[in-house]
Structure 1
Amino acid sequence: MEIIRFADLRPQPWRNGGGVTRELVSHPLAASAQDGAWDWRVSIADITKSGDFSPFPGMERVLTVIEGELLLLSVDGGEHPLEKYRAFRYSGDAGCSAALPTGDIRALNVITRDGAYKGFASIVELSKKRAHPLFDGQLGILLQGEATATPGPDLEASGDDPEASADEAGTGGNASPGAPQALGRYDAVVGSRSRSPEILGRGFLAVVSIDAVPAGP
């Protein structure tokens, strides 16, 4: 089980000085340091000053305010008031700027290459009684509250290998494969095909899905 700790992420200042971005994950990973060199990216941005957003030609963006009250987004001249936890999809080719009528904003950004991938972001309320699973191609980010992540059952196991199971669970053999891992605010859990992580707790979880677009005939 892979957990990306928000506290370990290095903030990358925007070129225009309007904020900073912390990248959670991108693909391909080797290209993550170059704007737009990847095919998709999931990041969290702190917006501290009104101004223009960087363009991402050939990309599609999904922005969700996750902290703060209101972001006024202007896209190709049209104004869109974005409230907390409401995802907004727009083209990375569009001219885009933001205003902060209620103060600083923290936003979850999902950017995907047009025609290759499609990104989605939704907010779910967690439960202590019913776990929320994260499947392959998904990322779960704890936005608020307290929660734990536990590796799900290994549906593709071909035999009993405790040592391998511990490695797969991300414990390094120091804990049982099913040991719950506490999540901090904005920590992200990477979904899996064989051991789908399960999230239990109280609060709100952002679930990001990245779907490959089927090739045409």
Structure 2
Amino acid sequence: MQIIRYAELNATPWRNGGGVTRELARHPRAASGQNGADSTPSDWRISIAEVASAGPFSAFTGMDRVLTVIDGELLLLSVDGAEHPLEKYRPFRFSGDADSAGALPTGDIMDLNVITRNGAYRGYTSIVELSKKRAYPLFAGQFGILLQGQASVSPAPAAPVEPPAAGASAPERIELSRYDAVVGADAQTPEVLGRGFLAVVSIDAVEAAAR
């Protein structure tokens, strides 16, 4: 089971000084020794940005973007001249080729960004409310990011060959901190329990069209 600790991620300042980005995951991974620089082409990328001032967004040619405000009240996103008011926990999809910019009428925000290469992958973001009684499973190709509240995660037990012995202990649960990410898996699928909200990011490969 893999957990990406938000507190351990490097913050990369924006060139325009308007914020910083922390990268949770990408494929393929950046080459070593780049110190967080975003110069290695990627097919998909998941990151969290702290936005402290209004200004233009970077262009991602040939990419598709899903942006979700995860802290703060409102981002006014302009995409090719059309203004879109983005409220907290409402994912919004737009083209990385678009001329885009953001304004902050209610103050600083944080946003979750999912960027995928057109024709290769498709990204989706959904916001789910956690429960202490029913665990939320995360499968391969999914990432669960704790946005708010308290939660813990443990791997689902493998299918038992025999009934468990009396008094057998349950799998150990690991506490999550805010913005920690859990990487999904099909074998011993991680299960998240708690109270609060979880962003579930799904990265789906796009099948090549039949020739």
Provide the TM-score with structure 2 as the length reference: 0.91
Say which is worse superposed, 24-33 or 41-50, in terms of deviation.
Answer: 24-33
* CA-CA distance at 1:30 after TM superposition: 3.0
- What CA deviation, in whole Å up to 9, does each residue of 1:139-194 have, x standing for no partner? 00000000000001235x99xxxxxxxxxxxxxxxxx8921000000000000011
Over the aligned positions, Cα root-mean-square deviation in angstroms equals 1.6
The question of 1:39 aligning with 2:32 is answered no
The question of whether the paired residues in 2 share the 8 Å contact of 1:140 and 1:205 is answered with yes
The question of 1:106 aligning with 2:107 is answered no
Which structure 2 residues correspond to residues 123-202 of structure 1 after superposition, within 5 A?
Answer: 123-154=127-158, 178-202=171-195
Aligned residue in 2 for 1:29: 29
**Where does the alignment leave 5 or more consecutive residues of structure 2 unmatched?**
162-168
- The structure with more helix, counted as a fraction of residues: 1
* CA-CA distance at 1:61 after TM superposition: 0.2
**Where does the alignment leave 5 or more consecutive residues of structure 1 unmatched?**
159-175
Mapped to 2, the partners of 1:38 and 1:177 lie a distance apart of 39
1:63 alignment partner, SS class: strand
Aligned residue in 1 for 2:82: 78
Report the AA paired with residue 201 of structure 1. Answer: G
Query: Percent identity between the aligned chains?
Result: 66
The total of aligned residue pairs comes to: 199
Mapped to 1, the partners of 2:198 and 2:37 lie a distance apart of 27
Provide the TM-score with structure 1 as the length reference: 0.88
Aligned residue in 2 for 1:170: none
1:7 alignment partner, SS class: helix
* CA-CA distance at 1:36 after TM superposition: 6.4
Mapped to 2, the partners of 1:178 and 1:27 lie a distance apart of 30
2:7 alignment partner, SS class: helix
Aligned residue in 1 for 2:201: 208
Misfit runs of 4+, over 6 Å: none
